[in-house]
Amino acid sequence: MRGRRLRRGGRGRGGHHSRSRGRGTHDNRFPIGEHPPIRRASDGGRTYEGNHHVKIAIFGGTGDLGRGLAITFAAAGHEIIVGSRSQERADQAADGLREAYPEGTFMPMENAEAAAAGELAVLSIPFEGIEATMPALAEPLAGKVLVSVVNALKFGKSGAMAVLDLPAASCAHQIQNLAPEAKVVVAYNNLPAAALQERHPIEGDVLVCGKSKDAREAVIDLTKDIPGCRGLDAGPLANAIIIEGMTAIIINLNKRYGGEASINVTGLENAPARA
């Protein structure tokens, strides 16, 4: 069966979600295996450049946002490595993704093995799990781009709120501290998970920040595989807390006004076109 339909105004692990629009179709401008090239990051020889499948390790593929990204990138022709704390949990997560998108390639592995096998990684777990998860990933992720979609949120009677009293300046900083050789980039935190899971085009901008410019550019290129989106360079990792905190604002907007809000930046003369 397909993944559960997401409620309006809720959130996925590591991100927000909202109600779905009408069923969309796959973007056929780039057939599977012929998607736009992903820019090479300066990581000691690894390359994401060229029209080939990229192995993307996703940790948190059972959460709403991680699941949505796994399906979306699989639909673009990438090989998805589903990482989990145990092989059994990884198998279950991969089975669920295959049911949702049978055409995709989903390979289940334990976390450390998945981190070693992936060319690029996405971390989409609850922020409370960072300390327990990252030590096993630090060494195999050294030199690789690690995309954090982790948000620290809490909920009260007045709505969603960003958690500010974190062990580091942001979730991304905490992840970078625990995996100092990884190229941590913040992106995709603010995308609607329901639209990703249903593969609906999202008319939104993905703000990308991180210490490494090459890593930011690699993620901006990867964003071309999300129909309707464009990646924008939002600068260094110091801006991560702003991007993470904006998720709480979007959740509150969705709840108050209905729909599935996304970020749109206007007035940029030299920004890339949307996918």
* The pairing of beta strand 159-162 with beta strand 153-156: antiparallel
* Domain that residue 80 falls in: 32-38+48-257
Q: How far apart are alpha carbons 184 and 178 in whole angstroms?
A: 11
Farthest-apart Cα atoms in the chain, separation: 50
Mean pLDDT, rounded, for 205-221: 97
Contact between residue 247 and residue 11 where contact means Cβ atoms under 8 Å apart: yes
Assigned domain for 155 exists = yes
Assigned domain for 101 exists = yes
pLDDT tens, residue by residue, 62-117: 899 999 999 999 999 999 999 999 999 999 999 999 999 999 999 999 999 999 99
**Residue listed under structure tokens 């055409």:** 103
32 Rama sector, left if φ>0, alpha if ψ -120 to 50, beta otherwise: beta
Q: Does 202 score more than 70 pLDDT?
A: yes
Q: Which residue has the higher pLDDT, 3 or 145?
A: 145
Q: Residue 188 is encoded by which pair of tokens? A: 């995709």
Q: Does 43 score more than 70 pLDDT?
A: no
Q: Does 25 score more than 60 pLDDT?
A: no
Q: Exposed, middle or buried: residue 191 (CB in 10 Å: 0-12, 13-18, 19+)?
A: buried
Sign of torsion, CA 169 173 174 177?
Answer: negative
Place 3 in a pLDDT band, splitting at 50, 70 and 90.
very low
Contact between residue 248 and residue 220 where contact means Cβ atoms under 8 Å apart: no
Mean pLDDT, rounded, for 219-234: 97
Assigned domain for 206 exists = yes
pLDDT tens, residue by residue, 108-122: 999 999 999 999 999
| Mean pLDDT, all residues of the chain | 85
User: What per-residue confidence (pLDDT) applies to 158?
Assistant: 85
Q: Which residues contact 213 (CB under 8 A, 6 or more apart)?
A: 233
Assigned domain for 93 exists = yes
Mean pLDDT, rounded, for 214-241: 97
User: What per-residue confidence (pLDDT) applies to 123?
Assistant: 98
CATH number at residue 191: 3.40.50.720
Assigned domain for 266 exists = no
Could you give the number of structural domains in the chain?
A: 1
Q: How far apart are alpha carbons 264 and 275 in whole angstroms?
A: 14
Beta bridge partners, 83, equal 59, 109
Assigned domain for 66 exists = yes
User: What per-residue confidence (pLDDT) applies to 52?
Assistant: 56
Assigned domain for 267 exists = no
pLDDT tens, residue by residue, 127-172: 999 999 999 999 999 999 999 999 999 898 888 888 888 899 999 9
Between 34-43, 83-92, 179-188, the lowest mean confidence (pLDDT) is in: 34-43
Contact between residue 222 and residue 80 where contact means Cβ atoms under 8 Å apart: no
Assigned domain for 134 exists = yes
Contact between residue 244 and residue 151 where contact means Cβ atoms under 8 Å apart: yes
